[in-house]
Chains A and B, each alone.
Chain A
Amino acid sequence: MASNGDRTCADWLRTITSLPGVPGHEEATARELMKAFRTVADRVERDRMGSVYAWIEGTGKAPRPRALLAAHMDKIGFLVRAIEPGGFLRITEVGGFDSRTLPGKEVTVHSAPPMAAVFATRPPHLQKRGESDRPIPLEELYLDTGRPEREVRRKVPIGTMVTLRQTPVELLGDRLAAPGMDDRAGVVVLLRTLALLRVKRPAWDVVAVATVEEEFGMFCLGARTAAETLAPDLGIAIDVSHGDMPGTREGDTVPLGSGPALSIGGNIHPWILEDLQRSAKALSMPYRVEPCPMGSGTDAMDIQIASEGVPTAVMGIPCRYMHTGVETVEPRDVDRCAHLLAHYLSELAPEWRAVEVLK
């Protein structure tokens, strides 16, 4: 591994997005992330639910306040649901895909050893008239490993994790497309932020958490349990924001290359937002304000109401085509998020607290 200083955002993005990690199956990814975090953090550990904590010790007098940065390490994928005669695999999704983006895509079935497979498609020659007018629902899609049924049955138990198999794609303008930018791009922001903070230490302790299970269930399990464990004095979730795409409207998306998207709404403590905006201005960095009227839909939702309440903010990395195999970001935006976080955290006064004592 190259020394940390040599690794660019794009390098990190290529490496980290390639790791598997469907919700609940983050083990292998966590091990790799612990290695990566050890190059930038003072201390790295895992909690009982599997989230990875990477600490930067502050320079303030102990006991120091604590800032939690969260990006989720799980990515959407599938689990094997049934094995059909012929060895074809039926699957169920973990996290939400649009099934129209799947036919013809390659996947990795995470058996031991892993095997490649494809989402099977019927050639036009064999289709009935009008068949191609109707999208294929996920329940009707199936995977073909190209291996004999007996081998498949021996090696692929029900519940085996399946992820999209798509190597990162370099696009013009340094843009990068890969499955799992949601939210491995956020994990890269954490890595870059800690590298900066190690040089310019804040007064606060900073704990960057790569959380488990954001994409599954009614709440963000990893973020909620980490926030209960750490009882932080503030929390910031770093996740992807919808990039500009044809057919979308201003206000619902942020342009790629426009810098961090800072959420506004009930899920965001206004003082943190103000300070982040002040930091962006101090750095002459572009940013957008992203309206979140009914909550942010990120780890910050659960961090905010954990413990006795945590002041939270949300920083978004503009990302096109979310929840497909070609999630596209600009590494420049990822880098900007890290610089903004590092600046904000190193300016944070030791006595800053969101609780106002009026009497």
Chain B
Amino acid sequence: MSADGAPKFREDVLEAISNAPGVSGGEEAVRAILAGYARDKVDSLEVDPMGSLVARIAPRGNGSSKRGPHVMLCAHMDEVGLMVTAVEKEGRLRFRRVGGIDPRILPGQVFRVGAEGIRAVVGALPPHLLPRPEREKVTAPDDLYLDIGARSREEAEERVSVGSYAVFDTTYEAWGTTRKGKAFDDRAGCAVLASLIQRRPPLPVTAVWSVQEEVGLRGAAAAARRVQPDLAIVLEGTASGEAPGSPAEEQYPYMGRGPALTVQDRSLMVHARLLDVIEETAKRRRVPTQWKRPGVGGTDAGRIAISGSGVPSAVVSVVCRYIHAPAAYLDVRDTQRAVSLIWHTLDTLRKEWP
């Protein structure tokens, strides 16, 4: 238990799932870790037809007749990455991107391909061999390939096949309160959610670790229909605005200054009263928060909100630097604050909602 009565953030879970591969459509490894972790902490656990992990937890028995609203807490398991689209006769792997990846980060990068995680490099011609005008152009991803060192198609096909996914080859590390790893969008949210289910909540909760957020917010759409919650809070790893040279007013949100609250993004107007409840809880429990930049990005909450007759929805995010890139940073104080904020918000909701 943390100092303020909320469950403790489980960094061990974050480390395990950050290191595991889970490109949209291939989330099995992440799901297996979370399912193994959750099994003895929840009342029911299932994998839905799309692959999302759905865990139901009844509230702690207090004999009170007021049960409180049924809350869906949701974080997506998938990350951006690559898919192998062809194995060429020279043993090279052609690929396409899954989710939004800046093509400029690809040359010179290292990936792990397939369930085995065999290493692949994205080669680039040495500058010596490139005419100067070529060096001023961004290489189109279609012209790049993954090199696993195979000498022939046959050799390559022993280890990978068309449809294999590739993830950034990044290992979780810690220094100070900073944590470095891949896929903090949204393994940070997944780990916050995992931390929350360590104790029985004050009201009925369904935890959903969703699939395919990065390819169109798809998994949460089906999961919300299955869960039919009274309200939803989505846990995200969102982008920090910090960058030298950016105007001062665009530098927020900041890593290390608490969970970011969303007012609006491209997928959703956050439910105003639900946001009020979260904000007031943060003030009362002295959890620092900040605002996420409005008008950019989109989350599963956009799909959950329009599910069925509608679900009041909000988004609470851990601010990360360099999401959708090989190595992201977060501040481990922020992940604990996110756990505390949601935990105390559940208490407020039980007392005050609707």
Contact = CB atoms under 8 A, between A and B. Distances in A.
Interface of A: 249-252, 264-269, 289-291, 293-295, 304-311, 354-359
Contacts of B78: 266
A27 B22 CA distance: 44
Nearest to A288: B162
Given A291-B96, A359-B39, 14 more contacts: A249-B86, A250-B86, A250-B88, A250-B94, A251-B85, A252-B86, A267-B25, A291-B84, A293-B98, A294-B97, A295-B216, A354-B49, A359-B43, A359-B44
B225 A308 contact: yes
Interface in B61-103: 78, 82-86, 88, 94, 96-99
B: interface residue count bin: 35 or more
Given A293-B83, A359-B44, A310 B49 contact: yes
Contacts of B50: 269, 304-305, 309, 311
9 contacts: A252-B86, A264-B163, A289-B162, A290-B162, A305-B221, A308-B225, A309-B52, A310-B49, A359-B43
A83 B173 CA distance: 68
Given A265-B163, A293-B97, A311 B49 contact: yes
B317 interface: no
B49 A294 contact: no
A308 B50 CA distance: 9
B150 to A, nearest CB: 16
Nearest to A228: B225
Contacts of A307: 222, 225
Contacts of A358: 35, 39, 45-47
Interface of B: 24-26, 35, 39, 42-52, 78, 82-86, 88, 94, 96-99, 142, 161-163, 211-212, 215-216, 218-219, 221-223, 225-226
A270 to B, nearest CB: 8
A19 B24 CA distance: 39
Contact of B225 (A268, A293, A309, A354): A309
Nearest to A273: B163
Contact of A266 (B39, B46, B215): B215
A305 B96 contact: no
Nearest to B85: A251
A304 to B, nearest CB: 6
A293 B44 CA distance: 32
Contact of B49 (A289, A355, A357): A355
A308 B162 contact: no
Given A265-B83, A289-B163, A293-B85, A305 B222 contact: yes
Contacts of A311: 49-50
A249 B118 CA distance: 25
Contacts of B211: 266
A92 B48 CA distance: 42
Contact of B215 (A290, A291, A295, A356): A295
Given A265-B83, A266-B25, A305-B221, A355 B45 contact: no
B51 to A, nearest CB: 8
Contacts of B45: 357-359
Contacts of B223: 309
A355 B48 contact: yes
Contacts of A291: 83-86, 96, 162-163
Contacts of A267: 25
Nearest to A235: B49
Nearest to B227: A308
B49 A308 contact: yes
What 10 A-B pairs are tightest by C-beta distance, nearest first? A266-B25, A251-B86, A309-B222, A264-B163, A251-B85, A293-B83, A359-B45, A356-B47, A354-B49, A308-B226
B223 to A, nearest CB: 7
Given A251-B85, A293-B85, A309-B50, A359 B96 contact: no
B85 A252 contact: yes
A268 B78 CA distance: 15
Contacts of B49: 269, 304, 308-311, 354-355
B24 A266 contact: yes
Nearest to B24: A266
B226 A293 contact: no
Contacts of B99: 294
A266 B163 contact: no
Given A264-B162, A264-B163, A309-B225, A294 B46 contact: no
A17 B94 CA distance: 35
Contacts of A357: 44-46
A295 B43 CA distance: 33
A357 B46 CA distance: 4
B311 to A, nearest CB: 14
Contacts of A268: 25
